[in-house]
Amino acid sequence: MEFRELKIPGAWEVTPRQFSDDRGVFLEWFKQDVFIEATGQPFELVQANWSVSGEGVLRGIHFADIPPGQAKYVTCVRGALLDVVVDIRVGSPTFGQWDSVLLDDLSKRAVFIEAGLGHAFFSLDNDSTALYLCTSGYNPKAEHGINPLDPQIGIAWPHIGHTGRPLDPVLSDKDAAAPTLKEAHEQGLLPSFRA
């Protein structure tokens, strides 16, 4: 299992070693001791989520209040997702910047996102299935969003899916109505880098 820190501090791409033979494939997609060695912190699992998305579905940018915050460990077990991490921590040297990792059922990569970072993903296939482990449970009063199409952030969302068809992002009403990064900052919704 290899960890590579993304350009956003607090986010890592995780590439597992796959062992295949005529029976199929085996891999460890999470291992606590290796995780601690790479990130310097344990992962305290509280909730596990399963999400299935059609081609072109865009979910996020989501984040939770700190404390307690919500760190996530995300993988894609079917199809493909462009997984995006956005630094929304006020005072961070990389505030407003983003990085991405292609998660799919071939590479079987995962992404770890520390609490306080924004998270979104874009489905590149029909029935793309994400599994993610979370360090806190869903709390609607402490959950927030930023519009994933905010031009200030400028995420380069794909225009073509794996089927070769053009893609127009499909957002929930809540994500489409979410504030921009600037508006979320002005409303005091964003976590601080120090927290």
Please give the single-letter amino acid code of residue 179.
P
- d(CA 63, CA 168) in angstroms, rounded, equals 24
* 2-186 CATH fold: Jelly Rolls (2.60.120)
Going by C-alpha positions, the residue among 98, 93, 87 that lies closest to residue 191 is 87
64-83: pLDDT as tens digits: 999 999 999 999 999 999 99
- The sign one gets for the Cα dihedral 90, 170, 59, 57 is negative
Please give the single-letter amino acid code of residue 177.
A
Catalytic residue among 73, 132, 159, 185: 132
Residue 126 phi, psi (nearest 5): -70, 140
103-129: pLDDT as tens digits: 999 999 999 999 999 999 999 999 999
**What mean pLDDT, rounded, does the chain reach?**
96
Least confident among 65-74, 161-170, 184-193 = 161-170
Tell me whether residue 62 is one of the annotated catalytic residues.
yes
Tell me whether residue 138 is one of the annotated catalytic residues.
no
Catalytic residue among 62, 73, 119, 144: 62
- d(CA 133, CA 101) in angstroms, rounded, equals 17
Query: What pLDDT is recorded for position 161?
Result: 78
Maximum separation of any 2 CA atoms in the chain, in Å: 57
Q: Provide the residue count of the chain.
A: 195
Mean pLDDT of 151-161: 94
